[in-house]
Chains A and B, each alone.
Chain A
Amino acid sequence: MSAPKLNVADVAGLARLSLTPDETTKFTAQLSQILAHMETLGQIATGDVPEVVPPAQPVLRPDMPTPSLSVEAALANAPAQSNDLILVPKIVE
Chain B
Amino acid sequence: MLPKFAYVRPDNLKEAVEKLSAEGAMVHAGGTDLLGCLRDDVLDAGTLVSISAIKDLRGIRKTENGGLRIGALTTITEVSRHRLVNQKYKGLAQGASEVASPQLRNQGTIGGNLCQKPRCWYYRGEFHCLRKGGTECFAAEGENTFHCIFGSDSICFIVHPSDTAPNLAALDAEVNITGPKGKRTVKVEDFHVLPADDVMRDTVLAPGEIVTEIIVPPVKHGLRSSYRKIKARRSWDFALAGVALALVFDGDKVTDGRVVFSGAAPVPWRSREVESAIIGNILDGKTIRTAAEASVKGAEPLAKNEYKIGMFQGMMTEELEKIARAEE
A interacts with B: no
- Partner-B contacts on A (CB < 8 A): none
